[in-house]
Amino acid sequence: MLDSARELTVDLGERTYPIIIGQGLLGSYDLTPFVQGNQVMIVTNETVAPLYLESAKACFPGKNVDVAVLPDGEKYKDWQTLNQIFDHLLEQRHSRKTTLVALGGGVVGDMTGFAAASYQRGVPFIQIPTTLLSQVDSSVGGKTGINHPLGKNMIGAFHQPEVVLIDTESLRTLPPREVSAGLAEVIKYGLIRDTEFLGWLEKEVTALVDLETTALVEAIYRSCACKADVVALDEREGGLRAILNLGHTFGHAMETFAGYGNWLHGEAVGTGMMMAADLSLRQGMISEQDRARAIRLIAQASLPGRAPEGMTPDDFHRLMAVDKKNVDGALRLVLLRALGDAVVTDEVDVVKLDETLRTFCVVSGDVHA
Ligand code: NAD
Ligand code: GLY
């Protein structure tokens, strides 16, 4: 166990909150200072509950803790499952003073946050993320919501948590594929805003794949610091925050094509970032070496190097047309002006975009750096 937890702040005026990162915090860290009333509802899923529910409950000594256990999977990030949270809250007579607690990955976190944003017009919530992806990304910044059959995360609200508690020990039970998916979002921060971190990641990627604690805490801390910084500057995504979506436009299209849950969000983002680097090169924004560096690092995290089987450039065009970043029907993408410097642009050269799409919609084999 590390000596002490590390702490960061998401600086948002009256909505400011801490992110607490450490090893072995679940079960020992007292979260009651972040709870206003006596009622707490932990929302988790059937996979995470047997692993961490009891230790999560121990973070709320003296409180009345109820539990809602949801089915596990991206395909359940929908109205029906969201409604199960409201059913539990109403059946257990939770008042406006209740606090919801999201215990799980990004799916549980996004749904619990949305439930908190709308239950009795808004109640507080706490994030206890248990996947690498949720620890470095989805638990921070207040984006909450559910999917619609026609598009990912299309229904939701901004609602900031009271605190984010990150226990790196919970990653020990995570399947390796989920670790790689989380690493995609870690690498994202290096690519969009922090070349020094990118260089560090190139040295430490194997340690991270192997879940070495010191490297993990550092990667999570630096990722959360980057996200907290961007969110503090642009909470509601008026501009800058959109750079956090590097690779996501391509990625959401791949996730939707494959069917929610068949490709992991982070896997799709990893491949999508390769595509963004490829298009950035074709548009004359970065060098061949930069493209190769980005693709190599993403591949070292064991992320896929091509689009889902059977997906065509036309599928991409159709699915990317519903992206939330688009304005008045014009496609907007996050591209790289340089490594460590992302930009949101609607200056997308359609011929070059098609070249990128064709490169990644190959029949078989990965795209090599
Ligand atoms: P997930 O929530 O589906 O979790 C992945 C799998 O790991 C699930 O089966 C889950 O039950 C299991 N799991 C969770 N913790 C575990 C643990 N410690 N040990 C073993 N198994 C564990 O997926 P995710 O990658 O965490 O999150 C993806 C979701 O997050 C997507 O819906 C995506 O849209 C969303 N997201 C939101 C934001 C945001 O800003 N709100 C940002 C990025 C992603
Ligand atoms: N994951 C993108 C964002 O939080 O804005």
- Taking only the tens place, the pLDDT of each residue in 211-268 is 999 999 999 999 999 999 999 999 999 999 999 999 999 999 998 899 877 899 999 9
Q: Are residues 262 and 326 in the same domain?
A: yes
My answer on whether 304 and 343 are in the same domain is yes
Q: 366 lies in a domain?
A: no
Question: Are the beta carbons of 345 and 196 closer than 8 angstroms?
Answer: no
CA distance 172 to 179: 10
Q: Give the pocket of ligand 1 (CB within 6 Å).
A: 45, 47-48, 51, 72, 74, 77, 104-108, 110, 130-131, 133-134, 137-138, 141, 143, 152-153, 170, 173-174, 178, 181, 264-266
Q: Find where tokens 């069917």 sit.
A: 259
Domain hosting residue 57, numbered range: 2-169
Closest CA to 127 of 119, 141, 118: 141
For residues 176, 135, 39 and 48, what is the CA-based torsion angle, rounded to 10 degrees? 0
pLDDT of residue 352: 97
Name the DSSP class of 307: P
187 CB less than 6 Å from ligand 2? no
Ligand 2 center–CA 262 separation, angstroms: 21
- The confidence band for 365, taking pLDDT boundaries of 50, 70 and 90, is low
Domain stop point among 108, 136, 169: 169
> Which domain CATH number covers 126?
3.40.50.1970
Q: How far is CA 164 from CA 81, 173, 212, 271, in A?
A: 23, 20, 22, 28
Total structural domains within the chain: 2
The band of 369, judged by pLDDT with boundaries at 50, 70 and 90, is very low
The CB density around residue 258, as the number of other CB atoms within 10 Å, is 18
pLDDT (0 to 100) of residue 366: 52
CA 75 to chain centroid = 16
Which pLDDT score is estimated for 57?
A: 98
Q: Which of 133, 153, 169 is the endpoint of a domain? A: 169
- Tell me: pLDDT of 367 over 60: no
- Does any domain span residue 71? yes
* Structure tokens given for 359: 């490169």
Q: Ligand 2 centroid to 79 CA: how many Å?
A: 21
pLDDT at 131 over 70: yes
pLDDT tens digits along 151-161: 778 899 999 99
* Averaged pLDDT, 283-310: 97
Backbone angles phi, psi at 211, to 5 degrees: 55, 40
Kindly state whether residues 107 and 250 are assigned to the same domain: no
Over residues 134-153, mean pLDDT: 92
Q: Which of 57, 56, 225, 85 is nearest to 144 (CA)?
A: 85
pLDDT tens readout for residues 161-186? 999 999 999 999 999 999 999 999 99
- Does residue 367 lie within any of the structural domains? no
Across 11-22, average pLDDT: 97
Statement to judge: residues 156 and 252 lie in one domain? no
Q: Tell me, what CATH number does 324's domain have?
A: 1.20.1090.10
Q: Please tell me the least confidently modeled range out of 12-26, 124-138, 139-153, 324-338.
A: 324-338
Judgement on whether residues 38 and 148 belong to the same structural domain of the protein: yes
In a domain, 302, yes or no: yes
Which residues are paired to 145 by β-bridges?
156
pLDDT at 363: 59
Q: Place 325 in a pLDDT band, splitting at 50, 70 and 90.
A: low
If asked whether residues 101 and 78 sit together in one domain, one would say yes
Q: What is the mean pLDDT of the chain?
A: 94
C-alpha to C-alpha distance for 300 and 6, rounded to whole angstroms: 28
Query: Of 169, 193, 212, which closes a domain?
Result: 169
Ligand in closest contact with the CA of 324: 2
Residues 208 and 84 placed together within one structural domain of the fold: no
- State residue 326's pLDDT score: 64
- pLDDT tier at 322, thresholds 50, 70, 90: confident
| Range with top average pLDDT, 236-240, 287-291, 317-321 | 287-291
Does residue 200 lie within any of the structural domains?
A: yes
Q: Within 129-259, where are the H helices?
A: 132-133, 176-193, 195-209, 213-233, 248-258
- Same domain for 74 and 94? yes
Residue 318 lies in a domain: yes
Q: By mean pLDDT, which of 99-103, 252-256, 325-329 is the weakest? A: 325-329
- Residue 342's beta-bridge partner residues? 336
Residue 4: the pLDDT is 77
Report pLDDT for 272: 98
- Quick one: 254 and 292 in the same domain? yes
- Read off the pLDDT of each residue in 73-97 and give the average, rounded to a whole number: 96
Same domain, 68 and 181: no
Q: What's this model's pTM, rounded to 2 decimal places?
A: 0.94
